[in-house]
RNA sequence: UGGGGAUUGGUGUAAUGGUAGCACGGCUGACUCUGAAUCAGUUAGUAUAGGUUCAAAUCCUAUAUCCCCAGCCA
């Protein structure tokens, strides 16, 4: 998937896979899987896992399955299934016909539970959830055996079948694996493997009223699908002995579980629960709010699949709990957009400029390059006239020497147009703020070069007032002000770090006319400003652009450093 | 204070007993009709203390710090 020569190192998971292929384990085959629970939207953290699982399969002529771990009917919905599939496809990965659901295996899982009971390795327990918790012990004290632990096989069989038949209410009984209640690993203290849940399932409807727990479904699902390498995140490391216990007790194919560290990025929250809160508490405008780290949010923001994949490759795969700088993500984004985004001119905060010696009523069409990185993208015409808009930030009344922009008496270039010199300022009487600049132009500099070889330090973007397209532009900033909003410092919650300026809406923006034809999702670089894309809210009459990411700005940086 | 993991520049990673490298960021400078991009240079690291070895990020011993686990969630 990496298209250029930048070396992406072989991570420890790939090393294990390579070793297994070499030793001909699994007949040299590689089958991985991406196993989301359909209870929420995918985010950038999932992208890391998707890239890993699909990437390893592709690199080894293997396949990667998409399997929905849908064992909890109370939380899961088809809406999420569809959204997840859309996001994975958008990233560019293909699971072919290998679309599976843990719920496809409910019957098999049930039969295996029966086998465990028959082997005296599982029993029905009547304890309440609260009692089970008490019997489980603590981190430092061993658990105690349930009084029902030694029920005979036939009684267990009878009870479990009656659980399935719906004879008991939710929570009245559970099926537990009989392992070791004194184990230092709490996951092995007779874990619950089936619970009664009289709930409607998004795929199996009301066929079942008992549902397997994750631990009893995941490994076996892997096994059924002949998964060779079951790659998951660190928090499941403690579950591996249980994973192994089930496949060994059941004497079925034994996939190898390998754990890696999940992705963390500073200034973001990366948990499904917190994201759901942001949505439900209306802190953001839905799962696809461009400030969200969800894949649908990032797509709307203007992230490209390639930039996300490249980022994931750069982040690498280890067991170290890291906090990646968001700058790395943004670098990957700019890198891609710089190559593919056509350039255009747009003025976000317009300042009117009248070119006094330019003939009234005259219009010219000037040639502009669409992408200096890619000649094949050609050129376009941009109209020029007597009244134009420039950026308010490109004018300063008391300008320092190093300010290469407009100020009274200073000459700058209008990109692809003319050199202009600021002659005077018209101010608002009340505020004293400049509302218009009176300038003169040099007709000999048409196209942007002076025949006398005169140089100017600054080049400004501009838009002809008469031809401008009006637009709304939404500027996004990080959602949180703290690099670790969930860090739990000083009893603070991530809500305490919400950035009040994470969204700024500009409604008076002026864009060059070629942008008037832009369609949903199209991406541009507004020269000197950043990358922007057309938001789905946009209509022909009321265009809406999102700023995907600003350009690097060494002037702003130097300016900020001084103050 | 039970069990399981982890620790290399500011950040993310590589080096699998033999030159501590790459990327992002930062800082210089060059170039530039985008203060972008590009190019060149530069900055900065093996958690600590012992030990083994000709040689240790890597092996051994101890210590420190961080993360995960006590759902009928995944």
The DSSP annotation for A332-400 comes to HHHHHHHHHPPEE-EESSEEEEEETTSPTT--EEEEEES-TT-GGG-EEEEEE-SEEEEEGGGB-SS--
Rounded distance between C-alpha atoms, residue A485 and residue A493, angstroms = 7
Q: Are residues A501 and A360 in the same domain?
A: no
pLDDT > 90 fraction of chain A, expressed in percent and rounded? 96
C-alpha span between A472 and A511 (Å, rounded): 10
Q: Determine the pLDDT at residue A88.
A: 98
Nucleotide nearest to A449 (CA to C1'): B33
Q: For residues A158-175, give the mean pLDDT.
A: 98
Instruction: State whether A78 and A157 are in the same domain.
Output: no
pLDDT value of position A1:
34
- Which nucleotide, over all strands, has the C1' atom closest to the CA of A12? B16
A25, A123: one domain:
no
Q: Is the pLDDT of residue A115 over 80?
A: yes
- The answer on A113 and A63 residing in a single domain is no
A117 and A89 both lie in a single domain: no
The answer to whether position A115 is within a domain reads: yes
- DSSP class of A266: T
Q: Kindly tell me if the per-residue pLDDT of A347 is higher than 80.
A: yes
A215-238 mean pLDDT:
98
CA atoms within 13 A on the CB side of A546: 28
In the predicted structure, residue A468 carries a pLDDT above the cut 90:
yes
Pinpoint the alpha helices (H) of A225-292.
Answer: 240-249, 272-280
- Asked whether the predicted pLDDT for residue A8 surpasses 70, the reply is no
The domain spanning residue A424 has which CATH number?
2.40.240.10
Give A5's pLDDT tier (boundaries 50, 70, 90): very low
Identify the residues numbered 379 to 408 in chain A whose C-beta atom is closer than 7 Å to any atom of strand B. 402-405
- pLDDT over 70 at A187, yes or no: yes
- As a rounded value in angstroms, the CA-to-C1' distance for A324 and B57 is 22
A382 falls within a domain: yes
**pLDDT at position A319:** 97
Q: Which of A119, A217, A133, A215 minimizes the C-alpha distance to A171?
A: A133
Query: How does residue A138 score in pLDDT terms, banded at 50, 70 and 90?
Result: very high
Q: Do A208 and A232 reside in the same domain of the chain?
A: no
CA of A15 to C1' of B55 (A): 27
A448 shares a domain with A355: yes
Look at residue A7 in the predicted model and tell me its pLDDT.
61
Q: What residue has token string 């002026």?
A: A510
Nearest nt to the A193 alpha carbon by C1' = B72
- Total of domains in chain A: 4
Residues of A serving a catalytic function are 37, 262, 272
Whether A123 is covered by a domain: the verdict is: yes
Strand B proximity: list residues 33-52 of A with CB under 7 Å.
Answer: 37
| Nucleic strand B near CB of residue A10 (< 7 Å) | yes
Q: Residue A163 CA to B52 C1' — how many Å?
A: 62
Average pLDDT over residues A179-197: 98
Angle ∠(A219,A118,A108) on CA atoms, nearest 5: 40
Å between A136 CA and B37 C1'?
Answer: 61
CB of A550 lies under 7 Å from some atom of strand B: no
- Shared-domain flag, residues A130 and A165: yes
Residue A334 lies in a domain: no
Residue A197's nearest CA partner among A234, A151, A166 is: A166
Average pLDDT score over residue span A326-335? 98
CA dihedral for A77, A83, A88, A94, sign (positive or negative): positive
Kindly state whether residues A503 and A490 are assigned to the same domain: yes
For residue A236, pLDDT beyond 70: yes
Please, which pLDDT band fits residue A489 given cuts at 50, 70 and 90? Answer: confident
Query: From residues 51-70 of A, which are strand B contacts by CB within 7 A?
Result: 69
| Residue at shortest CA–C1' distance from B67 | A321
When pLDDT is averaged across residues A141-167 and rounded to a whole number, the result is: 98
Select from A161, A194, A214 the last residue of a domain: A214
Rounded CA-CA distance A474/A452 in Å is: 42
Q: Which among A192, A260, A211, A207 has a CA at the least distance from the CA of A102?
A: A211
Structure pTM? 0.96
Is the confidence at residue A205, as pLDDT, over 90?
yes
Q: Tokens 């709010």 identify what position?
A: A289
pLDDT at A44: 98
Mean of the per-residue pLDDT values for chain A? 96
A161 touches strand B (CB under 7 A): no
CA of A141 to C1' of B1 (A): 11
A319: nearest nucleotide, CA–C1' criterion:
B6
Q: What pLDDT score was predicted for residue A91?
A: 98
Cα-based distances in Å from A230 to A108, A220, A254 = 20, 11, 10
Domain boundary among A464, A488, A520: A464
The C-alpha atoms of residue A308 and residue A48 are separated, in whole angstroms, by 9
Which pLDDT band holds residue A559 (cuts at 50, 70, 90)?
A: confident
Is A330 domain-assigned?
no
Q: What is the pLDDT of residue A85?
A: 98
Q: Are strands A343-344 and A523-526 parallel, antiparallel or unpaired?
A: parallel
Q: What percent of chain A has pLDDT over 70?
A: 98
Q: Is residue A331 part of a domain?
A: no
DSSP states along A79-106 = HHHHHHHHHHHHHT---TT-EEEGGGGH
Reference A466, options A368, A386, A551, A371; nearest CA is A386
ipTM over the 0.90 cut-off:
yes
The CATH number that applies at residue A121 is: 3.90.800.10
A164 with A236, same domain: the answer is: no
* Residue A82 Cβ under 7 A from any strand B atom: no
pLDDT band at residue A9 under the 50/70/90 scheme: confident
pLDDT at A2: 34
Would you say A246 and A1 are in contact if contact means Cβ atoms under 8 Å apart? no
For residue A562, pLDDT beyond 80? no
Residues A178 and A137 in one domain: yes
- Does residue A3 have a pLDDT over 60? no
Q: What pLDDT is recorded for position A561?
A: 72
Whose CA is closest to A438, among A509, A387, A508, A512? A387
How far is A263 from A241, CA to CA, in rounded Å?
A: 24
pLDDT at res. A563:
63
Nucleic strand B under 7 Å from the C-beta of A71: yes
Tell which strand B nucleotides have any atom below 7 Å from a protein Cβ. Answer: 1-8, 10-16, 21-27, 33-38, 66-74
Of A274, A294, A315, which one is at a domain's C-terminal end?
A315
DSSP A9: P
Long-range contacts from A500-504, C-beta under 8 angstroms, 24+ separation: A501/A477, A502/A291, A502/A476, A502/A477, A502/A478, A503/A291, A503/A474, A503/A475, A503/A476, A503/A477, A504/A474, A504/A475, A504/A477
For strand B, is any atom closer than 7 Å to the CB of A338? Answer: yes
Write the CATH number for A21: 3.40.50.620
* Residues A349, A435 share a domain: yes
pLDDT at A108 over 60: yes
What span, in angstroms and rounded, lies between the C-alpha atoms of A477 and A481?
10
* Residue A402 · residue A554 · CB < 8 Å: no
**Tens of pLDDT along A398-450?**
999 999 999 999 999 999 999 999 999 999 999 999 999 999 999 999 999 99
Stretch A335-361: mean pLDDT: 98
Q: Please say whether the beta carbons of A221 and A215 come within 8 A.
A: no
Can you give the residue range of the structural domain that contains A69?
5-104+217-315
Domain for residue A320, yes or no?
no
Q: What is the nearest nucleotide to A141, using C1' and CA?
A: B2
Average pLDDT over residues A482-491: 87
pLDDT score at A492? 86
Q: Quick check: A552 CB within 7 A of strand B?
A: yes
In a domain, A327, yes or no: no
């Amino acid at each position: 998937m990496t298209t250029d020569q930048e070396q992406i190192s072989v991570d420890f998971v790939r090393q294990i896979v390579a070793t297994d292929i070499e030793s001909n384990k699994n007949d040299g085959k590689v089958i991985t899987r991406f196993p989301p629970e359909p209870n929420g939207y995918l985010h950038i953290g999932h992208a890391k896992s998707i890239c890993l699982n699909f990437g390893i399969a592709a690199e080894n002529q293997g396949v990667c399955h998409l399997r929905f771990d849908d064992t909890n009917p109370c939380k899961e919905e088809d809406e999420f299934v569809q959204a997840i599939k859309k996001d994975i496809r958008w990233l560019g990965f293909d699971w072919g016909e290998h679309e599976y659901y843990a719920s496809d295996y409910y019957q098999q899982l049930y039969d295996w539970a029966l086998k465990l009971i028959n082997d005296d390795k599982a029993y029905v327990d009547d304890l309440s959830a609260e009692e089970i918790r008490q019997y489980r012990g603590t981190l430092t004290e061993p658990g105690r055996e349930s009084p029902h632990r030694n029920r005979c096989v036939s009684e267990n069989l009878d009870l479990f079948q009656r659980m399935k038949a719906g004879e008991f209410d939710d929570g009245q009984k559970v099926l537990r694996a009989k392992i070791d209640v004194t184990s230092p690993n709490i996951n092995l203290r007779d874990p619950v493997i089936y619970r009664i849940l009289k709930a409607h399932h998004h795929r199996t409807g009301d066929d079942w009223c008992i549902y397997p727990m994750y631990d009893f479904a995941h490994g076996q699902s892997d096994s059924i699908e002949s998964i060779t390498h079951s790659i998951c995140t660190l928090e499941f490391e403690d579950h591996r002995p249980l994973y192994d216990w089930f496949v060994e007790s059941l004497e079925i194919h034994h996939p190898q579980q390998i754990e890696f560290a999940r992705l963390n990025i500073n200034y973001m929250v990366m948990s499904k629960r917190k994201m759901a809160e942001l949505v439900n508490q209306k802190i953001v405008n839905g799962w696809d709010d461009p400030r969200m780290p969800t894949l649908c949010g990032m797509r709307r923001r203007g992230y490209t699949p390639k930039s996300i994949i490249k980022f994931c490759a750069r982040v690498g795969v280890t067991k170290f709990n890291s906090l990646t700088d968001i700058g790395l993500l943004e670098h990957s984004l700019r890198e891609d957009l710089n190559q593919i985004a056509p350039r255009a001119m747009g003025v976000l905060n317009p300042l009117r400029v009248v070119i006094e010696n330019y003939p009234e009523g005259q219009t010219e069409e000037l040639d502009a390059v669409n992408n200096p990185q890619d000649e094949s993208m050609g050129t376009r015409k941009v109209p020029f006239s007597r009244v134009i808009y420039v950026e308010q930030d490109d004018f300063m009344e008391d300008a320092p020497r190093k300010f290469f922009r407009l100020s009274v008496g200073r000459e700058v270039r209008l990109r692809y147009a003319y050199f202009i010199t600021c002659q005077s300022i018209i101010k608002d009487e009340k505020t004293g703020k400049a509302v218009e600049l009176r300038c003169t132009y040099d007709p000999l500099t048409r196209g942007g070069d002076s025949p006398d070889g005169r140089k100017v330090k600054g080049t400004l973007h501009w838009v002809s007032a008469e031809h401008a397209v009006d637009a709304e532009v939404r500027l996004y900033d990080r959602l949180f002000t703290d690099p670790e909003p969930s860090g739990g410092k000083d009893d603070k919650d991530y809500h305490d770090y919400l950035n009040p300026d994470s969204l700024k809406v500009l409604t008076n923006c002026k864009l060059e006319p070629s942008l008037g034809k832009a369609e949903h999702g199209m991406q541009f670089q507004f020269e000197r400003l950043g990358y922007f894309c057309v938001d789905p809210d946009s209509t022909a009459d009321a265009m809406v652009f999102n700023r995907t990411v600003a350009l690097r700005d060494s002037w702003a940086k130097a300016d900020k450093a001084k103050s």
